[in-house]
């Protein structure tokens, strides 16, 4: 009987811990309208305004993929608000490499040009769509995804919204080949040889 009670207690504790982990995987709720940063004495409209995305629309279009962020790091008023933005600029032929946002889903709105967007679910099924201005594409939280401008003549711009003040980003080429994982491990994982792994690493070097 005591053993049964102990097993029930262990199961109950495990379920509670799992629920806590799931709960903590999203932005925490706040119990005030907004969070005032430490050592801040004056709050006015400027605190709730961020102009850092202007450069994405007022400077020359980049020659390579560029993402301009507005999350809680750049815009402290977002702390506790569970939202952030990103401007994605894809020149002709550019790709936003396969990546994940571990803390947020993503809503992609195409502003100009055409973008091929896709994500892979946990059963390894690929979902893709060719998007034009005004189209919206959602990427479920934490799933591997990418954007690509296959158009030969037109640059593409999109605005992405996240359900987190800091969704995070893990870019696969960087995470796999630029973080110090042993070449032997990578070669075995991709069923290739060390020379090929080193060639990929050399190609990713700045």
Contact 168, 102 (CB under 8 A): yes
- The candidate with the shortest Cα–Cα distance to 154, out of 206, 182, 201, 112, is 112
Query: Is 106 marked as binding a ligand?
Result: yes
Query: Is 8 marked as binding a ligand?
Result: no
Main-chain dihedrals φ then ψ at residue 183, nearest 5 degrees:
-60, -35
Contacts of 155 (CB under 8 A, 6+ apart): 61, 89, 90, 91, 92, 112, 113, 149
Query: Is 101 marked as binding a ligand?
Result: yes
d(CA 51, CA 37) in angstroms, rounded, equals: 19
Binding-site annotation, residues for Mn(2+): 99, 101, 106, 145
Binding-site annotation, residues: 96, 99, 101, 106, 145
Binding-site annotation, residues for oxalate: 96, 101, 106
């Amino acid at each position: 009987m005591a053993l049964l009670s102990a097993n029930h207690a262990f199961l109950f504790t495990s379920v509670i811990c799992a629920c806590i982990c799931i709960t903590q995987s999203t932005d925490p709720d706040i119990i005030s309208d907004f969070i005032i940063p430490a050592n801040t004495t004056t709050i006015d409209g400027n605190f709730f305004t961020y102009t850092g995305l202007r450069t994405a629309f007022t400077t020359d279009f980049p020659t390579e993929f560029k993402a301009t962020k507005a999350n809680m790091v750049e815009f402290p008023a977002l702390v506790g608000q569970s939202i952030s933005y990103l401007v994605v600029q894809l020149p002709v032929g550019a790709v936003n490499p396969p990546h994940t946002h571990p803390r947020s889903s993503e809503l992609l709105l195409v502003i100009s040009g055409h973008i091929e967007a896709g994500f892979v679910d946990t059963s390894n099924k690929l979902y893709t769509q060719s998007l034009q201005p005004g189209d919206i594409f959602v990427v479920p939280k934490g799933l591997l995804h990418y954007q690509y401008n296959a158009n030969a003549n037109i640059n593409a711009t999109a605005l992405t919204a996240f359900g987190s003040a800091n969704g995070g980003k893990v870019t696969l080429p960087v995470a796999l080949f630029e973080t110090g994982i042993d070449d032997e491990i990578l070669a075995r994982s991709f069923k290739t040889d060390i020379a090929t792994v080193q060639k990929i690493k050399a190609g990713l070097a700045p």
